[in-house]
Structure 1
Amino acid sequence: MSNAGPTSTDARTEPFRPGTPVVLRSLHTFGTRGEAVAFAVAGRVLVDDDDLAVVASPLGSAVRRRAGVGSGPNGRLVLPEDWDGTYVEDRWSKAPVVRVHQKGTPWSVRRWHDGSDWIPDWYVNLELPWRRTCIGFDSQDWTLDVIASTGVDGGWSVRYKDEDELAFDVERGLVSNEKRAVIERSGQSATAAALARAFPFSADWSHWVPEPTWAAPEVPDGWSRI
């Protein structure tokens, strides 16, 4: 939850082949513990090329999150001092999710597929551009998110999510004012892209429907090593 994070240089230069199991990790610096994985979720690669990374997490995909008592707004945050260095082993329990990241962009776009069609909500996760690693992709979640939804009347709405968490992080000194400005500019750019229905909102997502026969992927051995 600090300003530190992975660099933009890929540790692995060779793209992943479609279907390859990978793990997506959010890295942060946690006080005296240093840099560590804040959250991880397994998935399978749909696309990995010079322009895009697309990863699907089927129902039951392995999830790892920090253990500890939540603090902050509605008890949603595990602060650095609340974390004991261990992780909760969990599973992805929602509909299969597809994450689309346009390389170099400080966000990724998520959609959920219920087995028949895409769920109307679009989730824009503000974060550092993804960095390819030997086991998947690393980033750093920036707390603030953007939600885009199609209403029953076909209208398109875009709004922020978790502004209270970002404000809490700034108040606690976990995020600097300079970093907050970077995050908010990224949010403005993401919002503009969503309102304009630019890529990937304009893309044909039928190419990225998760394969229903895929088994839920696990996190690999050594997934928490930085």
Structure 2
Amino acid sequence: MHRFATGQTVVRRDVHRSGRLWSEQALRVLADTGEALVTACAPGAEARWPALYAKARDDKDRSVRTEAFDAMATGRWDLAAAVWQETELLLWKPPAAWFSVNAFFVPDSDGGRRLRNRYVNFEHPARRTTKGFDTFDLVVDLVVDPGLTCWDWKDEDEYAHVRRLGIVTDTEYQAVEAAREEVLAMLTERTGIFADAERWAAWRWEPAWPVPRLPQPAPVAERVAPDGGWTGVCRGAPGGGPG
């Protein structure tokens, strides 16, 4: 398997089964091992998103997200240029996993940065490309507090909707169900990625690093805030799954 060099810019792409691009995001490689490809980005990093999805974030209108999924089901959508905002992102993508683990860092009151939350994104296993990796977001997510003691499922309603639309197939559904159990076991047992949670919680973006850019610079970007906020509801804890 081709390995990426530390410091290299790679592109994470969400690719629909039709072969059409759903989104892409520029990331900087921190480590590439047999256990995971670890990447990061900071405010200003280039991305492209579905135009309707970007509008939903800008307008804070979740109903427009439903329109974006409806457009995906038809196979017709437009992409909008974007730049990452507000948070520093640390992303682990194990090579064969149906998920990635994302950590979001925000400014603290002392002028530094703090870990806001972790965010498990359920998605296709990575398919390496010469420029990065391809996957496909399967909508449902798990939001985890910084201490790994509290978590909550996110976007279950949208997950049900994309299931009805046929965007998520029965085979993908079964893979996600198995991945959910795998992630909850890792959380409760502090294994896998979560075994090094304390060390990675101290990570910070190096200010001297240039922000990652897409290989072909996008036109003037619409400003899109990253999704991954903490929902404020705790439904799980070590020793038991979500309520």
**Short-chain TM bin:** 0.7 to 0.9
Q: Which amino acid aligns with 1:167?
A: A
Look up the match of 1:39. 23
Look up the match of 1:200. 193
Q: Does 1:15 align with 2:15?
A: no
Give the deviation of 1:162 after TM superposition.
Answer: 0.9
Per-residue CA deviations over 1:94-129 (Å, capped at 9, x if unaligned) read 211010122222211111233634424110111122
8 Å Cα contact 1:68/1:84 also seen in 2: no
Number of aligned residue pairs: 204
- Name the structure where helix makes up a greater proportion of residues: 2
> What are the equivalent positions in structure 2 for 1:43-58 lying under 5 Å apart?
43-58=27-42
Per-residue CA deviations over 1:21-71 (Å, capped at 9, x if unaligned) read 111111113xxxx21111111111001122220010111100101224779
Q: Which amino acid aligns with 1:163?
A: E
Per-residue CA deviations over 1:158-213 (Å, capped at 9, x if unaligned) read 22111111100111222233422221221222122123222212212168532221
CA separation of 1:117 and 1:201: change in aligned 2, threshold 3 A: farther
8 Å Cα contact 1:68/1:83 also seen in 2: no
In structure 2, how many angstroms separate the alpha carbons of the residues matched to 1:27 and 1:209?
29
The alignment-based identity, stated in percent, is: 26
Root-mean-square deviation (CA, aligned residues, Å) is 2.7
Q: Does 1:217 align with 2:212?
A: yes
Q: Which amino acid aligns with 2:208?
A: T
The residue matched to 2:20 in structure 1 has which SS?
Answer: strand
For structure 2, the residue ranges without an aligned partner over 5 or more in a row are 219-243
8 Å Cα contact 1:100/1:108 also seen in 2: yes
In structure 2, how many angstroms separate the alpha carbons of the residues matched to 1:122 and 1:202?
14
The residue matched to 2:139 in structure 1 has which SS?
Answer: strand
Look up the match of 1:63. 47
Q: Which amino acid aligns with 2:81?
A: E
Q: Which amino acid aligns with 1:21?
A: T
CA separation of 1:120 and 1:80: change in aligned 2, threshold 3 A: closer
TM-score scaled by structure 2? 0.74
The residue matched to 2:44 in structure 1 has which SS?
Answer: coil
Look up the match of 2:161. 168
The residue matched to 1:191 in structure 2 has which SS?
Answer: helix
